[in-house]
Structure 1
């Protein structure tokens, strides 16, 4: 059972400590393991009814030691899906652009890769049938731990209730309890190398 909401200051301290622990563990993963898990995660997601039926999928480009999204993005495009990826704005909110393959990506701030082309607007995420988000951990009620910028909490706030929202993690990052504050937006599923688990 998840803990009650913490006051913002207490939640922030607990999240900071947990982020450090999780990022350290990710840093120890061999590149070959990250790549193998990315392929497995893509296969599991592509087999879900939600992704099979989706016309538009909101996703993201993994960076560094994040669970990899490269195989997933290419498979979604090959399956005929319209894929939209985030563009990080100066205020940490997210705009969106259409992904047209690896050659359509350009380098952006914070080491990110973003789609070239005309931005679609912050509300474009609301048109997606499936929304795939990054994170560092999740608990079984759907409480997700992000990097701390609040970008995805804002984006998820625009997504209609009932949309399949899924965080991409390693299996060890599903925890019994994740500290959270009232503004944190839950997700409905988690995809790991072991499969897709529905939450809440």
Structure 2
């Protein structure tokens, strides 16, 4: 299956998940992550503000922030690379490019992700063997993940059934080390 076909298949499955199931899945993912010492000890966390059918990150971002982590969220640049800015509570977000919610704080530059102790990335699917993630096709997160050190935990948030075999990979694709699902955290590599 090619990337475009797999994206369509996952998007269709995500649309079929009832709202209540999405809410309980988001809560389970959040609790699974917050139970991990490497999440609890991360002083600077790069995350994202979820949209649509993605596993919801709003509660996770808020919980990380309330527990004392500095959370940086992406700001989509004109070249589709990701800049980063600090989340300082729910009132510090505003619509950005493509309607994505972004922090209104000072931009820290594309290299800011290098200093994160934990990186949480979106994905439509992740290959259970290699950690290659299927994104939306713009390459923004592949560029960002290329800047992350090899020992930094990188986590993709997924709905059940999205950790699969055979995600198509290209040379620019960057893998993640963990998949966070409602049923638990899966170490990949």
Per the TM superposition, whether the score is higher than 0.5 is yes
TM-score range, shorter chain: over 0.9
Higher relative contact order at CA 8 Å, sep ≥6: structure 1 or structure 2?
A: 1
In structure 2, the residue matched to 1:192 is 181
Partner of 1:120: 108
Given that residues 84 and 107 in structure 2 are in contact (C-alpha distance below 8 angstroms), is that contact kept between their aligned partners in structure 1?
A: yes
Tell me how far apart the structure 2 counterparts of residues 173 and 125 of structure 1 sit (CA, whole Å): 25
Q: Which residue of structure 1 lines up, in the alignment, with residue 15 of structure 2?
A: 27
Corresponding residue to 2:145 among 140, 153, 156 = 156
Correspondence list, 1:7-46, <5 A: 14-46=2-34
2:189 paired with 1:178: no
Aligned counterpart, 2:38: 50
Q: CA deviation at 1:111?
A: 2.4
Contact 1:63 1:111 in 2 (8 A): no
1:111 partnered with 2:99: yes
Over aligned residues, Cα RMSD in angstroms? 0.9
TM-score normalized by structure 2? 0.97
Number of aligned residue pairs: give it.
188
- Normalised by the length of structure 1, the TM-score is 0.92
Query: C-alpha distance in 2, partners of 1:143/1:103?
Result: 34
| Structure 1 unaligned blocks of 5 or more | 1-12
